[in-house]
Structure 1
């Protein structure tokens, strides 16, 4: 009762207090390189808690209700970004077990065997048999890999150096890194088109997330618009229906996307778009800059307190 009262105070309904959660992956078992990544049991526990404390709605319905001022108290929506295969293989059965809706934002260019560049970095660090990765010829330093802790350190060190490079240069360096690591990289990390259809057939919503997951703010406007438009069209062709929602890649307002990208999303016929800015909308929400947050905490009390705190933070916008 105390938890519900606290959350109702922060999220009284009407036009206030929509909590939108972001997930990326739900692993079948723990990954020693990413012990904080949610696994199936933790995700199931979180969904049970969320269902017992919140009114969980499909995102599109929640946005429409917020516009009308008719949100129920403790309103929440669940979203996934990128299009990982474990969304269909692991997360979907849990969502169905708890009878909860979710929206999956899919980067269309990685379906059917594709791989995001950051996952290439993760997997080459994970899989290389060498005890050191000397990437000094690429200007990326030398990284010892003798222990799990050293591999955990190498991954963000490499990703941080590559993240904001121009896309072509980044891809070229990642390919050269993979050659240095001398290991086979997986081709089953992302969903197939059949898995995307299975999510939709199960009653889940599918949203667009561009084709290649670029940082829109680093692209010429024409190229950014093409990424957004073609990602939408690819999913609409796949599903045979309109794709109404969009997620900005990376999603930080003013850094990863800019006001012109908000205008593009609106002009291309989306009905709403989500960022990765923490916080909650106050008053009538901006449907093209809906804030979301990642529930990192595994402890039950901390999880609830994180949800409550998020509702008190004003959402950032581009």
Structure 2
């Protein structure tokens, strides 16, 4: 199978059925590999993936793809490229590569961080980087004791801590982050997130901007009033910067029935969005709800595995949706 795919990638792509939409999710695109950000691609890996995408797929903006999906008019091997959160390296590192391959992409932005600050998970990563070689005691929050003697120890600590903190009550999560910051003498805030001018730069380059809530809460973890405020304020702030309406939305974290539910879908519709994406496995078909369109993260780093995973994902028929 592997040797056949290597020799005949176009034949494997020809197995993809018509009117089926694959959507890739990215977050950061790093200038060079970072051992504490193992899930993020660097520019060499991203360049390689975009070259493969350009060669074998028909890339559309998400708004156009959603419209054509329901009209049964998608091109063969239709694909969208999306980025979540609003990291500044999307502009400095990813955008030049996208432009070089003449590819469009959609960027889902958390508007709170457009003028400074960083997301809680980035703070945790940078504190642990700063504390490497020591011991991190988080027992008071039920998060255990962590040996940070080596990079591998730090990597394991992040795998243990971040998923737990992600699903904490919002105020408790803020308390944990504040406690971690107090453990270091000084932790300079890295320029991780986009500025307002950056999303204007993306728009001028032909990229699409979408909403991702104001501060990236897990919607199911906050009240309906707070969720509505997060969704509506984010849209208003982004449209105020761009001077144009935005039409697409990505649910933070994005797992149906866990991170969001039907009430949040209704909020997104009422806010005026025309479609929204999740992180369900599979490719979208014409019958899919426009507000529950599946996406997947291309974890594989080699061209062969990347392409095989992408094609395999497109055959998955029943993405999870909110009941």
Q: Under TM normalisation by the shorter chain, which class is it?
A: over 0.9
| 2:187 matches 1:184 | yes
Separation in structure 1 between the aligned mates of residue 292 and residue 86 of structure 2, nearest angstrom: 21
**Partner deviation per Cα, 1:203-226 (whole Å, 9 max, x = no partner):** 100000000100001111111111
- Does residue 298 of the first structure (1) align with residue 301 of the second (2)? yes
What residue is the counterpart of 1:315 in the other structure? 319
C-alpha distance after superposition, 1:258-297 (max 9, x if no partner)? 0111111111100110001110123333111110001111
Aligned-residue offset at 1:36: 4.6
Q: CA contact under 8 A between 1:123 and 1:185: conserved in structure 2?
A: no
C-alpha distance in structure 1 between counterparts of 2:33 and 2:73, whole Å: 40
Deviation string for 1:89-117 (max 9, x for gaps)? 10001101111000000000111212111
Which of 12, 15, 23 in structure 2 is aligned with 1:9?
15
Instruction: Find out whether 1:197 has 2:200 as its counterpart.
Output: yes
In 2, the alpha carbon distance for the partners of 1:306 and 1:231 equals 33
Work out whether residues 56 and 101 of structure 1, in 8 Å CA contact, stay in contact via their aligned partners in 2.
yes
Please say which of residues 35-44 and 115-124 is displaced more in the overlay.
Answer: 35-44
- 1:1-318, aligned counterparts within 5 Å? 2-10=8-16, 12-13=17-18, 16-128=19-131, 131-313=134-316, 314-318=318-322
Unmatched 5+ residue regions in structure 1?
none
Paired with 1:130 and 1:181, the residues of 2 have a C-alpha distance of: 13
Can you list the C-alpha shifts for 1:20-75, whole angstroms capped at 9, x where unaligned? 00000100111122345210011011000001000011111111111111001100
CA RMSD of aligned residues (A): 1.4
Distance 2:187 2:39 in 1: 25
Give 5+ residue unaligned stretches, structure 2: 1-6
C-alpha distance in 1, partners of 2:132/2:9?
48
Kindly tell me the number of residue pairs found equivalent between the two proteins: 315
Pairwise CA distance, 1:252 = 0.4
Shift of 1:130: 5.0
**How much has 1:129 moved relative to structure 2?**
5.5
Q: Distance in 2 between matches of 1:185 and 1:159?
A: 20
